Amino acid sequence: MAAGIDDISVYIPKLYLDAGDYALMRGVDATKLRDGLGVNQMAMVDSNQDPACLAANACLRIMQSNKLSPDDIGRLYVSTESSFDESKAMNSYVIGMLEQVYGQGSFEHCGGVETKFACVSGSYALYDNANWIRAGEAEGMNALVVVSDIAKYDKGSSGEMTQGAGAIAMLLNDEPRLLAFDPKVTATSIKDEYDFYRPFGKETPIVHGQYSNLLYLIQVRNALEIYKKKAAASGIISVGEGRSVLDYIDHLNMHLPYAKMGKKALAYLVRHEWRSLPRWKGVIDKVGMPEPVPKDPRGTIESILGDAEFMESDREFQKRFTRTDEFQEVYESKLASSLVASSMVGNLYTASLYLGFRSTIEFEFQKGADLEGQRFGFGSYGSGSSAMIFSGVIQPGYVQLARDMNLEAEIGPRKRLSADQYEMIHGNQLSPEESILSSSKEFVLVDVNTTPESRGQRR
């Protein structure tokens, strides 16, 4: 039985911090954000929004645009790393809000949980729900997987320039209009690591930025190796004879903590794949030899990070390599469209990969590309740390959906925050009643109650 993504909806909060304004505030060079990280604007939540509200808004959009009733939904999962409750799952908060529209008890037949593993948990939720469908348990119903996060870092930290917020809802069923997952190829890699984590009660994460970049690369490479074996066994690729697994992927979507990370990851994976192929010689002739890639991150990470010369020389090689026509061709044809939305919105943690997917479809379609039958690869990474690589094929029904995609309209008019407003929002100085925007027709917090009985009321 097929299983895949039938439709996708995006909800982005309507406040944003401009990269130039941030740079002025903190005294950093704006080109570091724009060119170095690929960050132009970062979406920010208002004081009356939390990740459950974002998730409920994305759910309502997808249900309304597909004229679905709660009876059509058999599973509702929320994946997040911005959880505010150690026990009650975020999907139950979301159901509570949706029942204000659809009637009390209307989701009673539905199942689901909140999933957590930093930014990768939404991919695990998609996989589990696809298997629920494949197992024949859905009985004609759909699964809703919602990825929702507020990426917030400490003031003045290196992560502060890679913030963002938003939610994406994905409708899954056995006749998907957008993308059917390739069966038996999903590959995972996992290891106990401390690159980025958020202990109980702490609002912002503890981050080892460069370490997290490197682990991201190593974990997706490990998962790609497993994907390669599974994809060869299932017959969708045939590596060897001068071909790389990446040659079979028409479009690659990577987790995007910031847009440039996608390009870094592509360059790293291309280097890894091409190294054993005849075409690598042509590249090396142009740009010279790279430094060797570390084999064991746990044993060598501190020395690598402390070894400025290694990092510098590898970065220098990466820069030379990414300027070659060979790399540029792969980048433009397989990745560039997925980065457009990220640079407008910033990091959405669990939702970043799927915003990239949505971005690829919209901007490739706008360019006149025919995506039907094309294979999309997904590279998901969650700190802590785990990676997942999987793929799927674009279905004929995508055209009908792609025609109506318009990210700018979906995001809607946004308000640019002043420096003072940003500092107040970041410092949690405003109550829900003091929100910067007055919202209508969307779920917002109307009260935050810290008594054990109720955390807050949403409308």
- Specify the residue, 64 or 328, whose C-beta has the smaller distance to ligand CAA: 328
Minimum Å distance from CB 16 to ligand CAA? 18
Minimum Å distance from CB 389 to ligand CAA? 15
- Specify the residue, 158 or 234, whose C-beta has the smaller distance to ligand CAA: 158
Minimum Å distance from CB 72 to ligand CAA? 32
Beta-carbon contacts of 353 under 8 Å, excluding residues fewer than 6 positions away, are: 119, 122, 123, 253, 254, 255, 256, 378, 379, 380
Helices assigned H by DSSP within 154-246:
209-233
Minimum Å distance from CB 42 to ligand CAA? 12
- Specify the residue, 160 or 182, whose C-beta has the smaller distance to ligand CAA: 160
Minimum Å distance from CB 19 to ligand CAA? 12
Rounded CA gap, 358 and 340, in Å?
Answer: 10
Cα distances (angstroms) measured from residue 142 to each of 129, 175, 176, 354, 402: 9, 10, 10, 18, 20
Minimum Å distance from CB 203 to ligand CAA? 15
SS (H, E, C) 138-160: CCCCEEEEEEEEEECCCCCCHHH
- Specify the residue, 7 or 314, whose C-beta has the smaller distance to ligand CAA: 314
Angle separating helix axes 352-366 and 121-134, nearest 10 degrees: 80
Task: Provide the binding-site residues for ligand CAA, judged by CB under 6 A.
Answer: 29, 31-32, 35-37, 118-119, 158-159, 161-162, 196, 207, 209-210, 212-213, 216, 255, 257, 261, 315, 347, 349, 381, 383
- Specify the residue, 47 or 383, whose C-beta has the smaller distance to ligand CAA: 383
- Specify the residue, 198 or 415, whose C-beta has the smaller distance to ligand CAA: 198
Token output for 178: 């957008």
Find out whether 196 and 207 touch, Cβ atoms under 8 Å.
Answer: yes
Token output for 194: 């401390």
**DSSP 8-state secondary structure symbol assigned to residue 290:** P
Minimum Å distance from CB 408 to ligand CAA? 24
Rounded CA gap, 358 and 402, in Å?
Answer: 9
Rounded CA gap, 223 and 254, in Å?
Answer: 13
Find out whether 221 and 241 touch, Cβ atoms under 8 Å.
Answer: no
- Specify the residue, 215 or 231, whose C-beta has the smaller distance to ligand CAA: 215
Does residue 386 have a cis bond before it (omega within 30 degrees)?
Answer: no
Minimum Å distance from CB 249 to ligand CAA? 20
Cα distances (angstroms) measured from residue 230 to each of 186, 187, 190, 221, 240: 8, 8, 17, 14, 15
- Specify the residue, 68 or 254, whose C-beta has the smaller distance to ligand CAA: 254
- Specify the residue, 107 or 327, whose C-beta has the smaller distance to ligand CAA: 327
Q: DSSP letters of 360-377? A: HHHHHHHTT---TTPEEE
Rounded CA gap, 282 and 302, in Å?
Answer: 33
- Specify the residue, 171 or 261, whose C-beta has the smaller distance to ligand CAA: 261
Minimum Å distance from CB 382 to ligand CAA? 7
Q: Tokens 């003091």, residue? A: 434
Minimum Å distance from CB 349 to ligand CAA? 5
Q: Name the residue with the smallest CB distance to ligand CAA.
A: 36
CA dihedral 441, 447, 450, 455 (to 10 degrees): -30
